[in-house]
Amino acid sequence: MPGFGAADEAEMGTRGCGPLIPPLSESMRPLRQQVFERVRASGLIPRVQVAKDLGVSPASVTTITSELIEAGLIEEVSAPRDPELGRGRPAVALGVRAQAHMVAGMKMSDREHSAVIVDFAGNLLANEVVPRRPGPMPLAEMLDAMALLLDRVCDNAGIARAALSGVGVGLPGFVDQAEGVVLWSSTLTERAVPLAEAAQARLGLPVSIDNDANLVALAELWFGAGRSLADFAVVTFEHGVGMGFVMNHKIYRGSQRLGMELGHTKVQLDGALCRCGQRGCLEAYVADYALAREATTALNWGHREGQSISVLLESLYEHAQSGDATARSIFRRAGRYLAVGLANVVNLFDPALIILSGERLKFDYLYAAETLAEMDNLVINTGRPRPPIEIHAWGDLLWAHGAAALALSAVTERILMAPREMAAQ
């Protein structure tokens, strides 16, 4: 399955990270920030190419890059010289100074917590995964879990917590990223929790939070298949169904920062009960708890009610693979509802690509040929091909990478908007 792997990690320093925005397509951001982001996205790039891409004078680029070098944010790197050009001075390119800053990204989930540490150029330095007991936890316990996870991943990287410049955190639920508030999450017992502020006080570091599906989209935008795409959608399958949408190279969140809740779009009036309290949500037919509920009823597994959802689903999948017609029909029904949801995404947004991601994609019945064929039947017939669909079952470290990208973005904004003497610290 396509995705971001070890080979990609090894090449990150020269390949760059962050959105690959086409030249001359964005001029609203300060030129200083555009120059830095062009260097970061390119990995290594000559000054003259930066000027050409941004449509500004070479003198302006020289002035700004000199300031960024003085601030310790970028550096000059000797680039390999083209043998056909003969002998002479080696070419000089610009690259992000990787050691300038380090950030952590954490995914707080229903079953385990994961974390990564990356440097300023996006290179992976360390990772950690900590199992947890299922079910929501009080805020105080969540903060304890964050502190423990952060200390462990810092130990793995051989650094102190204070060496970090910021932390990004993703978790499921309704998250207002701008306000730093979790309105509801399956991982927390309380509602309307000012998690970013509470985590910052506990960890002693700047903290940014977001919905975990947004962070998968952010991981694809910064490190994966979405770097060069202006518009694409990521649909995630874990305990629930999430969606992140990139529009014009940026995460789209809606006017109240709570949009893109594909799992809670309605596919059946007065239908099955969803964990959000409403009925007929897509999630109530596709999510893992929905599959487990169907299996318990249709296969008469009442005696298994004490088993975890993961164990139930593995058993259901084994039954389906062995030819059990009832087990297959459960996945087939969920796949049909998934086809409805994906067709709605296409009809509403017309993305260049749809990425399906998450642990539950190991159940290939959900995206079987029949499911995709049904989706084709539900998409408006315009005479043009529907967007391609890719399967990226990366696991929880992908989500943590998205959280790290969130932290990198926040740190970049903070230091590039600061006076020069602050940025150099």
Q: To which CATH superfamily is domain 101-218+397-423 assigned?
A: ATPase, nucleotide binding domain (3.30.420.40)
**Residue 330: both structure tokens together:** 């459960």
Residue type, 45: I
- The answer to whether 266 and 281 are in contact (CB under 8 A) is yes
- Look at the domain 230-352+359-393 and name its fold: Nucleotidyltransferase; domain 5 (3.30.420)
Q: Do domains 6-99 and 230-352+359-393 have the same CATH topology?
A: no
pTM score: 0.86
Residue 355 φ then ψ, to 5°: -110, 125
pLDDT score recorded for residue 399: 83
Tokens of 366: 């959900």
- pLDDT of the residue at 423: 46
Can you name the CATH fold of 6-99?
Arc Repressor Mutant, subunit A (1.10.10)
- Tokens representing 106? 């954490």
Q: What is the DSSP string of 148-203?
A: HHHHHHHHHHT--GGG-SEEEEEESSEEETTTTEEEE-TTBSSSSB-HHHHHHHHH
pLDDT 10s per residue in the chain (425 long)?
445 444 454 455 567 899 888 775 555 678 999 999 999 999 999 999 999 999 999 999 999 999 999 999 999 998 666 555 555 556 789 999 999 999 999 999 888 899 999 999 999 999 999 988 878 999 999 999 999 999 999 999 999 999 999 999 999 989 999 999 999 998 999 999 999 999 999 999 999 999 999 999 999 999 988 999 999 999 998 788 999 999 999 999 988 888 899 999 999 999 999 988 899 999 999 988 899 888 888 887 766 666 778 888 888 899 999 999 999 999 999 999 999 999 999 999 999 999 998 877 778 877 888 888 999 999 999 998 899 999 886 666 788 899 999 999 999 999 987 655 444 44
- What are the boundaries of each domain within the chain? 6-99, 101-218+397-423, 230-352+359-393
